[in-house]
A and B are shown apart, each in its own frame.
Chain A
Amino acid sequence: NAGVTQTPKFQVLKTGQSMTLQCAQDMNHEYMSWYRQDPGMGLRLIHYSVGAGITDQGEVPNGYNVSRSTTEDFPLRLLSAAPSQTSVYFCASSYLRDREAFFGQGTRLTVV
């Protein structure tokens, strides 16, 4: 199993550009989440999904869209990038509600 795979690992965007951060898991996990981590801070939940076709907002959803068309994939879309979205983005997945979450290695995004 590859686990949770995030692409790209690094990205530089100009203000106003849009892009999609990819997240894929091969463990048949129902639950998937996106977090952002700003320097020196903890993780903040952006969006999450409890299964294909079902998504919901987390703590900081503004400026981001998600969809879950398959169990495996949970892409995060930045609609119009802003410097405030410069951060490290982590995707996570878990199998059941009382099981541990697995995290990807992160996407480091810089918006200039």
Chain B
Amino acid sequence: DAKTTQPPSMDCAEGRAANLPCNHSTISGNEYVYWYRQIHSQGPQYIIHGLKNNETNEMASLIITEDRKSSTLILPHATLRDTAVYYCIVRGANAGKSTFGDGTTLTVKP
């Protein structure tokens, strides 16, 4: 599976959009990009995933560049409860072997 690179930390003002970047320059054609978040020490929670096209659900939007080498997770109206560690992972055919990096700690400030 391809490795990912994320900034260690980011801040965002409450009510504003949070844009979290992820680089995955070695991604291959059949690998998906997944985003999870971990609040405090709870188990990670799935947010969204995509292959090529941009995706949107009730939690967030995922923008994947045309060359698929990077992506951005967008939380449109961040709240204090969105403060968490956000993980971007790339997952291929072997679904069980998903490796996590250190993620981005997002702090939403009032």
Contacts and interface: CB of A to CB of B under 8 A. Distances in A.
Chains A and B belong together in one complex: yes
A45 B34 contact: no
A1 B51 CA distance: 28
Main secondary structure of the interface of A (DSSP, over half): strand
Contacts of B100: 35, 42-45
Interface string B67-110: 00000000000000000010100011111111111110000000
6 contacts: A41-B102, A44-B100, A97-B94, A98-B95, A103-B44, A106-B43
B97 A97 contact: no
Interface of B: 32, 34, 36, 41-46, 49, 51, 85, 87, 91-103
Interface residues of A, number: 34
A31 B102 contact: no
Interface string A26-55: 000011110101000111110011100000
Given A42-B101, A45-B99, A106-B42, 14 more contacts: A31-B96, A32-B96, A33-B96, A35-B100, A43-B87, A43-B100, A50-B94, A56-B96, A58-B97, A97-B94, A98-B95, A100-B49, A101-B34, A105-B42
B20 to A, nearest CB: 15
A105 B43 contact: yes
Contacts of B93: 97
B52 to A, nearest CB: 12
A102 interface: yes
Contacts of A42: 85, 87, 100-103
Interface string A81-112: 00000001010101011111111111010000
A43 B97 CA distance: 12
Contacts of A31: 95-96
B99 A59 contact: yes
Interface string A58-97: 1100000000000000000000000000001010101011
Contacts of B87: 42-43
